[in-house]
Amino acid sequence: MTIAEELTEKTKELSLFSYNIEEKREQSLFDQAGKMLTSISIFTVAVLSFISLEKFNFNSEQTAKILGITFVPLVLSFISVILTQWRSSY
């Protein structure tokens, strides 16, 4: 084998190794995004349950403040999850 052939072979091996690592990283992102969607759904149910507590003489101004504070990060994380799961074509 010549030096050029050896370099070509090593380059192919390194590129395959790099591709496999990136593929695993992408799969990990999708798994994490799925877990985030699940937690967002559970959190939304909890918040909606909290809204129903207003029927038990909770102050509506307090409830609005708490919901405003909790929904902003919730919506931002939901948008980031959707963007993470969106696959771009190569």
For residue 40, what pLDDT is reported?
77
pLDDT at 54 over 70: no
Query: What token pair was written down for 29?
Result: 């992102």
Determine how many CB atoms are found less than 10 A away from the CB of residue 81.
19
Mean pLDDT of 71-90: 73
Confidence tier at 11 by pLDDT (50, 70, 90): very high
Per-residue pLDDT reduced to its tens digit, 34-49: 887 787 777 777 777 7
What pLDDT does 27 receive? Answer: 86
Confidence class of residue 32 from pLDDT cuts 50, 70 and 90? confident
* Measured distance CA(34)–CA(60) in Å, rounded: 33
DSSP code for 57 = T
Residue ranges of domains in the chain: 35-90
Would you state the pLDDT for residue 38?
Answer: 81
